[in-house]
Homo-oligomer: A and B are copies of this chain.
């Protein structure tokens, strides 16, 4: 199945909205309702849902439980994804707090730093370990995904270690593009760029 990155992003958002909607008791949604929530078009929503294989009903729309299950089957690894975080600074702390308990399929199995004053501290329930433990934990827990929240200067060497240790996917918060070999997926979260984009594009609307 060759799902495009764009589609995966939207599916993630749909699911989040649907989980809320499910809590509020609604049993089904129409494509145009989902579209309105994300400021998109109904056709786009239907096409995305088509790709995950869930199917709706001519008059009653899509069953919420059905959608959540179908999307989860595509987005989540059934075995769960084990994740490490490197760089337990301000942003690392925020990320740990955010992920905690959000999606059961995503499990943080280690947080690492090289600052002796951070090592041993417990942050949002996760004990910060020494960066020296990195390779051992990745191997022991079969970690596939890593989050980099170190300063920009060390992001590339940290990335290289992660990849060498077997990590296949990286979420990079450092404001530096990372060089990785074929077969490793990097997702940038670039806050500086987001800000500059807004300041630039706001002026031309």
Contact = CB atoms under 8 A, between A and B. Distances in A.
Interface of A: 1-3, 5, 8-9, 12-13, 16-17, 37-39, 74-77, 81, 83, 89-91, 93-95, 97-99, 102-103, 105-106, 144-145, 147, 168-171, 175, 177, 179, 183-185, 187, 189-205
Given A145-B195, A169-B198, 20 more contacts: A3-B200, A8-B196, A9-B193, A12-B190, A12-B197, A39-B177, A74-B200, A75-B200, A76-B200, A83-B195, A91-B91, A98-B191, A102-B192, A105-B199, A144-B202, A171-B191, A171-B194, A187-B194, A189-B189, A189-B194
Contacts of A201: 3, 5, 8, 169, 185
A16 B145 CA distance: 26
A205 B189 contact: no
B97 A199 contact: no
Contacts of A203: 77
A170 B195 CA distance: 9
A202 B169 contact: yes
Contacts of A194: 171, 187, 189
A156 B94 CA distance: 21
Each complex incorporates copies of this chain amounting to 2
B37 A177 contact: yes
Nearest to A197: B8
A145 B12 contact: no
Nearest to A198: B169
B75 A16 contact: no
A197 B95 contact: no
Contact of A192 (B12, B190, B204): B12
A202 B168 contact: yes
Contact of A185 (B105, B185, B190, B202): B202
